[in-house]
Copies of this chain bind each other. A is one copy, B any other.
Amino acid sequence: MNIEHWRSEIDELDAELLRLLNMRARLALKVGALKKASGLPLCDPERERKVLHQLQEANSGPLDTEAVSRLFRRIIRESRRIEAQLVEPVTSDSIS
C-alpha cells in the first residue's frame, strides 16, 4: 500500500468525522434550546468534566489521554459556540 492509498482512506474517514461533528452540533443546538427555555446557563463545567472523563476512560489509543482531552475540548468549545448563537443571536449591541 502506498501513501496515496492511506490518504484516500483518511479522506473518507474525515468526511465521516465531519458528518458526525455536524450531527453533534445539531444535538448541541437542541440542548441549548432546552437550557434557554429553562433559564439554565450554557456553560456546565461539571457536565464537561464528566464527558471528558468518560472519553478518557473509554480510550484505547493510539491517541493518548492528553490528545483525547485536547480534541474533545475543541469539539465541546465549538458546540458551545453554536449554542451561544441561539441565546445571543449575533448581538444587536451596535444598532445603527
A interface with B by C-beta (< 8 Å): 1-3, 6-7, 9-11, 13-18, 20-31, 34-35, 38, 40, 47, 51, 54-55, 58-64, 67-68, 70-72, 74-75, 78, 81-82, 95-96
Contacts and interface: CB of A to CB of B under 8 A. Distances in A.
A93 to B, nearest CB: 11
Mostly, the A contact residues are helix
Count of identical protomers in the assembly: 2
A62 B96 contact: yes
Contact of A15 (B47, B58, B96): B58
B14 A31 contact: no
A96 B24 CA distance: 27
A70 B31 CA distance: 22
Interface-centre pick from A7, A26, A59, A81 (highest chain B CB count, 10 A): A7
The listed residue with most B CB atoms (<10 A of its CB), out of A18, A38, A60, A61, is: A18
